[in-house]
Amino acid sequence: TINNANDADNESDDEFSLNSGSPAPSDGGRPPPLLYLRITNAKVVCSLLKTIQFRDLATICASVNGLKVTVEDCKSLQANVYLQTSLFSQYTLRDDEPLFFKLNYVMLLECLQMFSDTEASSPAVMELFLPDDRSAVELHLEDAGVVTDCRIRTIEPEQTLDFNFNAAALCFKVIIRSEQLKEVFSELDPHSELVEIFVSTERRLFRMSTFGDLGRGVYDFPAESEAVEMFQSPDVSVAFRYRHALLKCCLKALQASAKASIRCDQRGFLSLQFLVESADGHNCFIEFFLVPNQPEDEDEIAGSDDERH
């Protein structure tokens, strides 16, 4: 099963363990950095971060549990990549309190991709520093003796969205193998502005539907199918619609993942959590929160199982 990485990040140390290591390096008389981390394969981090590259800015939260990188689209979509401390060969946070900073995400990825996109025999080593004044993030990249230093100015972070997703009161939870879910995503009608997610209690199935000029497309995942690893249905059948453009933002994460956990609370807020098995054997989590489309007519999403047969 896929554990809730968001809950682990906020409440538990079980999912993330702080690596012990030598103290963060300091530069002469400068105080030690607020944050120092080192990874021996920069491509691992770069590949994960690229899955949520749909906006120019990102907010990073560093805590004793690891890093959470957040990208948002207005008030409709939030994407989070969770980088556990076990992913790094060294991870040092000077203070115990969570540390927030914002930066240009495009520039960060460009720096990481300098060596990550090459076919070098040895992986690139990356070190990241956040100095005491928080003015800029400093990156040190080394590959086969070639060294590159990057400095990215930080931006005063704003409050990230809190969707108040209630994991204790779910409408449904379904875990689907990503290979089969990718096929459905690739076949969704690109001209359909909305995608409906319908979960049937009577027929025990998870369904995605599109509405285009050529008619309706329906894609079913029966609970007993090999693609479905978990199916928790609601007391009554439910259906919510989401903007297709928002779901498309999840495609890169889906393509990189092994399985997907799809959850919905009683307001229709959707959580898509992807389990990614990194090249070095670590399990990493990417999570998206989507706001449902508000229909003009409440009857738009109403209907029995028979009406959706």
| Domains, the chain | 5-155 (3.70.10.10), 170-308 (3.70.10.10)
Using CA atoms, how far apart are residues 199 and 132, in angstroms rounded to an integer?
A: 50
pLDDT of residue 175: 98
Q: For residue 66, is pLDDT > 50?
A: yes
Rounded to an integer, what distance in angstroms lies between the CA atom of residue 285 and that of residue 234? 25
* Range of weakest confidence among 139-143, 194-198, 213-217: 213-217
Check: CB of residue 44 under 8 Å from CB of residue 280: yes
Question: What's the mean pLDDT in 10-26?
Answer: 39
Q: Is pLDDT at 11 greater than 60 in this prediction?
A: no
Name every residue whose Cβ is closer than 8 Å to that of residue 136 and which is 6 or more positions away in sequence. Answer: 151, 152, 153, 154
Other beta carbons within 10 Å of 206: 23
pLDDT value at 222 more than 50: yes
**What is the arithmetic mean of pLDDT over 275-291?**
90
Summarize pLDDT for 22-44 with one digit per residue, the tens. Answer: 445 555 567 899 999 999 999 99
pLDDT in the model for residue 63: 97
Distance between CA atoms of residues 5 and 14, nearest Å: 10
Q: Per-residue pLDDT averaged across 197-217, rounded?
A: 93
Q: What is the pLDDT at residue 145?
A: 86
State the pTM of this model.
0.85
Find all residues with CB under 8 Å of 244, minimum gap 6, and list them: 188, 190, 192, 193, 194, 195, 210
Q: Residue 19 — pLDDT band, cuts 50, 70, 90?
A: very low
